[in-house]
Amino acid sequence: MSKVDFENRVAIITGAGAGLGKSHALALAARGVKVVVNDLGGSVSGEGGSKSVAEQVVDEIEAAGGEAMANGADVTKLDQVETMVAAAIDRWGHVDILINNAGILRDKSFSKMEMKDFELVLDVHLVGSANCTKAVWNHMKERGYGRIVMTTSSSGNYGNFGQTNYGAAKTGVIGLMNTLCLEGAKYDIRVNALSPTAATRMTEGLMPEEALALLTVESVTAGLVYLVCDDAPNRLILCAGAGGFAATKVYETKGIHLNPDQQSPENVAKLIDKITDPEGQEEYTNGGQQTMKFVTQASAGVNTWDI
């Protein structure tokens, strides 16, 4: 594939009034995609709201010759999201692409975090992504086409101090992706995830200015545009930042089998190095593969470990 093309595509991008979302919207519009610029217009912590930020992005797109519409739906409210999707279909006839980008931060160490802040961050990132996906899902199934991107984070994949709420939400969208890509495959609905590192409102003050200057939103958007094109992959966690691109993958080790009379915590402790040995590890694409591995081992009843 020499060029990433889009023909008569319509995209909904949440949190597209600034930062990464705005960059995604401008890039797709420049390639002829009609864009719903969704943004509640609130602060980084999720307070307040104004549709004007979305309207400003629409103005930029239209000034460059593209087509776009602004929307201020709150992604945590399914009825508002459904109305947004209906408005896009009413104007352009269909929705082909959904980019779940909306998010907030309420960072604190877990001991100091109030549960309302934990719940709100999960509501915006995880439930918000589920709401938006639910609102387009059957439409995409009926049309036999869809491209959906979840926005995850290294905070979810690897952890980050002070971000238990954010990390849990960002890992949650990976679980959502892993199942949706299975359910949508026969309808040509491909679901991927973007794990970005960029200089945005969310990263101000967290890194030196020299690093932030390298972490442009445009460098991340280059990967995003690939994830929603006609020839997009399925079930890829694409990491992007400062011109670097990589994939995050989850592997399961080959592990061991213990016969019933050997299944004790002491034997697990004794063989933990064998259990965690990466030799022979595999990347699974559905949960049943793990079950089949364990059942196959148990059915064979073979244990070669020296206990």
Annotated catalytic, 251? no
CA distance readout (Å), 38 to 17, 54, 103, 137, 179: 7, 6, 12, 18, 25
Q: Which of 166, 187, 226, 251 is catalytic?
A: 166
Distance CA 297, CA 259 (A): 10
In this structure, are residues 140 and 183 in contact, taking their beta carbons and an 8 Å threshold? no
**Strand ranges inside the chain, DSSP E:** 10-13, 34-38, 68-71, 97-100, 146-151, 189-196, 237-241, 244-247
Q: Which residues contact 45 (CB under 8 A, 6 or more apart)?
A: 104, 105, 106
Please state the φ and ψ torsions of residue 176, each to the nearest 5 degrees: -60, -45
Distance CA 185, CA 144 (A): 10
User: Which active-site residues does the annotation give?
Assistant: 166
